Structure 1
């Protein structure tokens, strides 16, 4: 047997790109939920390219970092936005009037419920990453609670407002997280603090 040579490939942390994608799509989408804008026509490109594609790129690169948590989170939310984009296309008749006519929003409610369950697990994991990420995941929990209940027709106005303000808050905190990820790495020091892990589950 010959000598074995191991080569380490260094890649940049993709978190900043993923958080920027999340911040952009939630900012634009929340404007519609809050009634500031109307329709989904001009949300769709940001959902596909920033919410979905940017987060998928971040997820794929986190796999290369052997970061199971980041890879799973970014990739899962990326596919969420691809799916949401397709639901909007279906609702607006892009795939024909038959599909548009048979839309049942309760099916979307079950999808939101699934993502709520997923996000609760990820929120626990985020407690041992940093506090900014933990806040983002808690806000995503509230977003999915609001979306799930709205889709099932439960207190629709109140739960829609919960989803709307949660989504806007996700955008604001994600912009901060993106800025911290870029600038802290760029300057090689803590330029924007993100808070230490809670240290409950992982010492």
Structure 2
């Protein structure tokens, strides 16, 4: 069955796309990147949608143009879709952490020996809403990160779905070498009032 982050697609139970013919040009479509948006300072980053791009820096540019020009935005994160570890979907009244299988002891031992790194955790609180960032954990694999997330955030309910992303895979607007607002230092998004549409309407009424 065709897998998609959009449950409406998964419910259609579409067959997997057949393999490409050998004479078809490879990569005729750009890969997808998922975009997270911060609407105001200190707010949690929330998922806003995907973009297609040839590489991460271009995906960030496309994300800025698509998701920050009409709405308040103080920060943005972009990550390749392939870099996201996704759990199964649970019930709106329960937590997917309750059904999370324990990582075997030998696998935990191997993971500890290889060293740990940061993973960002995103929760979906209700179907139809957006995944939101809840924090970071230290782990040696996405599977171990889920176990760490369960210990750190498992008391939050409900949790319908969890996304786990290695922090190093996230392209962040708050990186020292990336300022998404260099081209518009005085305004971080387009305000509708800037178009002065109502002024034009009032003037038209007066002239009529």
| Same structural fold, with TM-score higher than 0.5 when normalized by the shorter chain | no
More helix by share: 1
TM-score interval w.r.t. the shorter chain? under 0.3
The structure with the larger Rg is: 2
**Given the two structures, how large is their TM-score scaled by the length of structure 1?**
0.22
More strand by share: 2
**Given the two structures, how large is their TM-score scaled by the length of structure 2?**
0.22
